[in-house]
A = this chain, B = another copy of it.
Amino acid sequence: MPTFVQILDFIGTFAFAISGIRLASAKRFDWFGAYVVGFVTAIGGGTIRDVLLGVTPGWMTNPIYLICTGLALLWVILFGKHLIHLHNTFFIFDSIGLALFTVVGVGKSIALGYPFWVAIIMGSITGAAGGVIRDVFINEIPLIFRKEIYAMACVVGGTAYWLCDLLGMQSYACQVVGGVSVFVTRILAVKYNICLPILTGGGEEEEGKE
């Protein structure tokens, strides 16, 4: 029987894959292309993290991510037209995935002996880098660099995790606080449309490094 964390992982993977598949669909990708984009959205962040940490990417040890992406593709093929009505549901699922992936990334880095500032970055990469690869594949500027707080929610959650650890809280409690911090930050950011300031003034000419 799957554990609670495994269920959350499945939900998060499914939501991330759906997001990739839908954006691929908007660009008229074929089924295969949409599947690849969905899969990379779901596992891309964790893969970059694992390559940087020097360990085998998680999806290479368990076919569940491939299967989950396949179910997501099937869902879009069958119920694509009705997805818009489920927009809020998928937003919640996506936020669950973001929270869980961040916490997993932080925890894995800590377990491998890295300092917390590395772990926070790895948590953010786990949560947000898949979406960056997705946007590169569909030839768009990555959304997370311009829209509401997304990767910053991972940084907030990773920092909360760290503070709990500093306070001597148990590993499990740190993870719960970290994950909830990501989730709440993300929900609040979208609900109140909280954005970081746009950077201006540095780029009237595009001649920095060539």
Contact = CB atoms under 8 A, between A and B. Distances in A.
Given A25-B202, A66-B117, A209-B131, A33 B94 contact: no
Most chain B CB within 10 A, of A23, A146, A200, A209, is at: A209
A43 to B, nearest CB: 11
A134 to B, nearest CB: 8
Nearest to A40: B132
Contacts of A209: 15-16, 18-20, 41, 94, 131, 134
A87 interface: yes
A178 B25 CA distance: 31
Contacts of A33: 142, 144-146, 199
Interface string A88-110: 00100010000000000000000
Interface in A176-192: none
Interface of A: 15-16, 18-34, 36-37, 41, 47, 51-52, 54, 56-57, 60, 63, 66, 73, 76-77, 80-81, 83-84, 87, 90, 94, 114, 117-118, 121, 131-132, 134, 136-152, 195-210
A136 B138 contact: no
Contacts of A24: 145, 199, 203
A203 B51 contact: no
